[in-house]
Structure 1
Amino acid sequence: MATISAAMVKDLRDKTGAGMMDCKQALNENNGDMEAAVDWLRKKGLSKAAKKAGRVAAEGLIGAVTAGTRGVLVEVNSETDFVARNEQFQGLVKMIGQVALDAGADVEKIKAAKVGAVTVDTAIADAIATIGENMTLRRVAELKVGQGVVSSYLHNSVGDGLGKLGVIVALESAGKADELATLGRQLAMHVAAANPSAIDAAGLDPEAVRREKDVLADKYRQQGKPENVIEKIVESGLKTYYKEVCLLEQAFIHDGGKSVAQAVKEAEGRVGAPIKVAGFVRYALGEGVEKQESDFAAEVAAAAGQG
């Protein structure tokens, strides 16, 4: 039996909105497995927000750089939000993005690349020494198309190509580049807001689909529904699930009366050629990173020699 800590219970509560005792029972029933506990709560109808994103736990900036048929996203983390407003740090993130545009999505290759007389790794070390705070190049993503555009969108922007949430979208088409770029930015804004998991159902993680089917089936099984009815309900439920998590099936944020797929199809008339959504990447600052909460007032007092 796994030891269930208060922190684990709190984390599950933050993710699901369920009661503390329900969260503790869910973790006990599933031997401390967080994902299984989330599913357990959903099956019991106790999860109020199973898909709610966890709190962002790291500071820094997302950088986006695009150039025609190529585009990259980079995430550079810092210890505090103050550094994200620092011009030197912002310049560092922009520089790393430019290097990534040529070097690709390999973090180690980017760190080893030279900018003038120094490597990117050295430039990061110099910034750490100057600003006095730890910084890391956490991750990089790259999209390319043979013909078409890669567009970007930065939310909570603090400067050109810099923000707290970044998206790049790749569109393959032989059509007008300017019209494609406009559509690409609209789609990037949609991805930022709607956070799809994949372009279509074929791109979804099979394990995620299996879990969704299990949750739906168990939920109605507990209600006493016969198996042949459950099978039909699950298939219907999956269609709803796909509309929630697949980009092309989601309601377009710029016109809720149509799906993204319909919006792309309509745009083909303006672009003058077929359009294929070739890929997208969405980076939210600090997602998946745990950061110890601290008493900011106590830190300031200690720095001033008062603590």
Structure 2
Amino acid sequence: MTAINATMVKDLREKTGAGMMDCKAALNETAGDMEAAVDWLRTKGLAKAAKKAGRVAAEGLIGLAAEERQAALVEVNSETDFVARNDKFQEMVRTIAADALKAKGDLDKLAKGKHGGGTISVADHLKEMIGSIGENMTLRRTSYLGVKTGVVASYMHNTISPGLGKIGVIVALESTGGADKLKSFGKQVAMHIAAANPQSVDVAGLDPAFVERERAVLTEQAKESGKPAAVIEKMVEGRLRKFYEEVVLLSQAFVHDPETTVAKALAATEQSAGAPIKITGFHRFALGEGIDRPDSDFAAEVAAAASGS
């Protein structure tokens, strides 16, 4: 009988996309015959992952795992929203989010870590789910925030189950102030971020290249006025301030009270919490943002399905 080694298991995984344990079992069942092992996996419905890996996965779920002083987000994609309503898929995303607390924002570490503290990695479990459910799935991204003192607040929009939804936000508030005040205000800020989608906490946090591109556009627009260079410069600076009010968290109008800014709401909360509060960072995940979705002809797809092609 052929001895099964790690190289054989690796080769079979690359051929089929099946999970490590399934590949090992297939080789054991077929006495190390690679082609027979591929067929064995196919009969079990476990060799589908590799074939489906090229299909666009832009649906799925955002997963959130939160404790008082740390929280993590993950985005796990599927091809259809139907799969996002599958209980097994939801449980997988919820478990991966919990695993993400240990990975602390490192996607590679998360993928290689043990799924739910079990025997196989998150990446291998995902491949097994692809074979089981029959759709391409991807672990797209993760983020993490933690504080030594204060709170990490969170919010999930379009929640379909605890910790699962379409838009997830985590925001870190460092402070020695009253915990209840921090939690309440932190939740409000997280909800604000979900709605307003700021790009940074403050002006200093903006990408300089991003600001320069905006400045260049505003300058060209101002030049069309035909006014002197000194006046144009003042016009540009004024328009940049308006731009900051749109994209900088502390400068935005607070969605819970549009008559004030987030910065002023923060200052008011510092008074009631009894200590300074610093928003040290935030992350906002919206499902599928930035994924190129191919144009599809729905009528043609229905016709193809009807014809069996």
**Which one-letter code corresponds to 1:92 in the other structure?**
M
Between the two proteins, the alignment pairs up a number of residues equal to 251
TM-fit CA distance, 1:112: 1.2
Q: Secondary structure at the match of 1:167?
A: strand
TM-fit CA distance, 1:270: 2.8
Aligned counterparts of 2:155 and 2:201: Cα–Cα separation in 1 = 17
2:80 alignment counterpart: 80
Calculate percent identity across the aligned residue pairs. Answer: 55
Q: Secondary structure at the match of 2:294?
A: coil
The TM-score with structure 2 as length reference comes to: 0.78
1:26 alignment counterpart: none
Alignment of 1:35-114 (within 5 A): 58-114=58-114
Alignment of 1:167-246 (within 5 A): 167-246=169-248
TM-fit CA distance, 1:278: 0.8
**Pair 1:136 & 2:138 matched:** yes
Aligned counterparts of 1:150 and 1:298: Cα–Cα separation in 2 = 48
Aligned counterparts of 2:145 and 2:151: Cα–Cα separation in 1 = 10
2:150 alignment counterpart: 148
**Which one-letter code corresponds to 1:278 in the other structure?**
T
Cα RMSD (Å)? 1.5
Aligned counterparts of 2:191 and 2:127: Cα–Cα separation in 1 = 34
Q: Which runs of 4+ in 1 moved over 6 A?
A: none
Deviations 1:157-207 (A, max 9, x none): 111111111111100011222221111111011001111111111111111
Aligned counterparts of 1:175 and 1:122: Cα–Cα separation in 2 = 43
Deviations 1:114-157 (A, max 9, x none): 13122111211111111100101000111111111111111111
The TM-score with structure 1 as length reference comes to: 0.78
Aligned counterparts of 2:142 and 2:132: Cα–Cα separation in 1 = 24
**Which one-letter code corresponds to 1:64 in the other structure?**
L
TM-fit CA distance, 1:296: 3.8
The answer for unaligned runs of 5 or more in structure 2 is 1-56
Aligned counterparts of 2:235 and 2:177: Cα–Cα separation in 1 = 42
Aligned counterparts of 2:253 and 2:267: Cα–Cα separation in 1 = 14
The answer for unaligned runs of 5 or more in structure 1 is 1-56
**Which one-letter code corresponds to 1:226 in the other structure?**
P
Aligned counterparts of 2:301 and 2:84: Cα–Cα separation in 1 = 19
**Which one-letter code corresponds to 1:270 in the other structure?**
S
TM-fit CA distance, 1:235: 1.1
1:262 alignment counterpart: 264
Aligned counterparts of 1:301 and 1:62: Cα–Cα separation in 2 = 33
TM-fit CA distance, 1:251: 0.5
